[in-house]
Amino acid sequence: MGTLALLDALWEMPAEKRIFGAVLLFSWTVYLWETFLAQRQRRIYKTTTHVPPELGQIMDSETFEKSRLYQLDKSTFSFWSGLYSEIEGTLILLFGGIPYLWRLSGRFCSYAGFGPEYEITQSLVFLLLATLFSALTGLPWSLYNTFVIEEKHGFNQQTLGFFMKDAIKKFVVTQCILLPVSSLLLYIIKIGGDYFFIYAWLFTLAVSLVLVTIYADYIAPLFDKFTPLPEGKLKEEIEVMAKSIDFPLTKVYVVEGSKRSSHSNAYFYGFFKNKRIVLFDTLLEEYSVLNKDIQEDSSMEPRKEDEGNSEEIKAKVKNKKQGCKNEEVLAVLGHELGHWKLGHTVKNIIISQMNSFLCFFLFAVLIGRKELFAAFGFYDSQPTLIGLLIIFQFIFSPYNEVLSFCLTVLSRRFEFQADAFAKKLGKAQDLYSALIKLNKDNLGFPVSDWLFSMWHYSHPPLLERLQALKSTKQH
């Protein structure tokens, strides 16, 4: 009854009030739904204190407990950061934060001699101030996550100085891309006429393809060191596997991810006949800095005065991350190359661009509705950038939630298919052991609530993937 009364009250309000109320109501509905799911998963973390029988051969009790405590800490952090984010967003809307920032941007422009007719210039100042505000309010949360949670559980490898330098560099690089691209997009919308949405879509398509092409060669090296994988057995086997499936491999890189975190990863990039593979050093047992530290500790002759620390050294060696052997790395790459061979990358690009075109088309339909601007405090002007923000972020939010869930379901399907492709390459046993190692190295918790995993997991739960591989592994 209360909900119906609220909806009736909303419907009797003016159009702009209805829009504003609906946006706030949907935002809090999504937040409460996400919180409900998170609490279901948190209950799993709290109550599952022993390794389930079906995982007995996969995970030892010590690693299970470590992963449980790690995920509990992440869950607590996620709750408080999510609550802060929702309250912050609500207060910004209620107290007119968006129109205030727009007016402030206009004042800065007027100080520099730019009047209201320079809307694109004012839009760029607005973007700069908005992203600066977001970076500053998010900084304490990022610091806590890195230097408390990740540090506590052995993942953080950064110093405070490195972290701050990295954050400033990310902000500067983001602005160097965001501001020129945004100015061109706004200009295209302004001069594009009735079919501006087609030109805007084509422009964003071109930008996304360029960024994907140059990211690993020109942007990522600004933050991490990329070195060619040295000649040797692993590189030869990667090249042989790539050739066997007609993957046009040109280079294989190792990225020094260990200076930032001990989490591991691998990916490929590039278009047409120019594909490159990137391996994190934390993925490779032979190249991991952590494993080199272990070797140094274990190879040191214990002095008499250090005998009391021998057990501590042994424990350190035992508990360090392992990385994967060459055969397991090849199996992981077999899975990744499966995404390419099965067309998953192209399918994702097509889905993304179809969605982008639809959104720009609907934006063209809605941009003339003055009540949308009035709902968020813009009564006398309808800036294009504000229209993009209102329509893409707020009006499309129900559609975006549905789309996100559908893409999550599709992603899980793609992951199973890529695992099956690795099977066909004869990598089932190595992928089986690699998944277990990666789960252990990253302290993934192998037990999940069905509803939480269905809504959130872009990858199938570990046990489901292992069961799908098991029959082939046994053969």
**Rounded Cα distance, 386 and 363, in Å:** 12
**Rounded Cα distance, 120 and 126, in Å:** 10
**Rounded Cα distance, 348 and 458, in Å:** 13
Q: How do 275-280 and 249-255 pair as beta strands?
A: parallel
Task: Say what the pLDDT of residue 6 is.
Answer: 59
336: annotated active-site residue: yes
Instruction: Give the total residue count for the chain.
Output: 475
* Residues 158 and 259 sit within 8 Å (Cβ to Cβ): yes
Please count the CA atoms within 13 angstroms of the CA of 193 that sit on its side-chain side: 1
Q: Is 344 annotated as a binding residue?
A: no
Choosing from 16, 419, 430, 441, the catalytic residue is: 419
Q: Two tokens at 464?
A: 């489901």
Task: Assign 255 to helix, strand or coil.
Answer: strand
What angle in degrees, to the nearest 10, is found between the helix axes of 233-244 and 326-341? Answer: 30
* Residues 456 and 408 sit within 8 Å (Cβ to Cβ): yes
pTM: 0.86
Q: How far is CA 342 from the centre of its chain?
A: 23
Task: Say what the pLDDT of residue 335 is.
Answer: 93
Choosing from 256, 336, 401, 464, the catalytic residue is: 336
Q: DSSP of 373-439, one letter per residue?
A: HHHTT-SS---HHHHHHIIIIIITHHHHHHHHHHHHHHHHHHHHHHHHHHHHTT-HHHHHHHHHHHH
Q: Two tokens at 296?
A: 């140094």
Q: How far is CA 458 from the centre of its chain?
A: 11
The CA–CA distances, whole Å, from 52 to 59, 273, 452, 455 equal 9, 47, 19, 23
Going residue by residue through the chain, which has 475 residues, state the pLDDT in tens, using 9 for 90 and above. 456 665 566 567 778 899 999 999 999 999 999 999 999 999 999 999 998 887 877 788 899 999 999 999 999 999 999 999 999 999 999 999 999 999 999 999 999 988 888 999 999 999 999 999 999 999 999 999 999 999 999 888 889 999 999 999 999 999 999 999 999 999 999 999 999 999 999 999 999 989 988 887 888 888 888 888 888 898 999 999 999 999 988 888 888 877 877 777 888 887 767 788 888 888 887 665 555 554 455 444 544 444 444 444 344 444 455 678 889 999 999 999 999 999 999 999 999 999 999 999 999 999 999 999 999 999 999 999 999 999 999 999 999 999 999 999 999 999 999 999 999 999 999 999 999 888 888 888 989 999 999 999 999 998 889 988 886 554 4
Q: Quick one: DSSP state of residue 279?
A: E
* Residues 55 and 463 sit within 8 Å (Cβ to Cβ): yes
Task: Please enumerate in sequence order all residues whose Cβ is within 8 A of that of 425, keeping only pairs 6 or more positions apart, or say none.
Answer: 241, 244, 245, 334
C-beta pairs of 98-101 under 8 Å, 24+ apart in sequence: 98/376, 98/377, 98/386, 98/389, 99/376, 99/377, 99/378, 101/126, 101/129, 101/130, 101/133
Task: Say what the pLDDT of residue 8 is.
Answer: 64
Task: Say what the pLDDT of residue 23 is.
Answer: 95
Q: Is 475 annotated as a binding residue?
A: no
State the sign of the Cα–Cα–Cα–Cα dihedral 87, 91, 94, 100: negative
* Residues 473 and 429 sit within 8 Å (Cβ to Cβ): yes
C-beta pairs of 338-346 under 8 Å, 24+ apart in sequence: 338/417, 338/418, 338/419, 338/420, 338/421, 338/422, 339/414, 339/418, 340/247, 340/268, 340/275, 341/245, 341/247, 341/421, 342/414, 342/417, 342/418, 342/421, 344/414, 344/417, 344/418
**Rounded Cα distance, 71 and 373, in Å:** 42
380: annotated active-site residue: no
- Three-state secondary structure of 177-240: HHHHHHHHHHHHHHHCHHHHHHHHHHHHHHHHHHHHHHHHHHHHHHCCCEEECCCCHHHHHHHH
What angle in degrees, to the nearest 10, is found between the helix axes of 196-214 and 344-366? Answer: 150
Task: Say what the pLDDT of residue 305 is.
Answer: 47
Helices and strands (DSSP H and E) totals, the chain? 19, 4
**Rounded Cα distance, 15 and 25, in Å:** 15
Task: Say what the pLDDT of residue 298 is.
Answer: 46
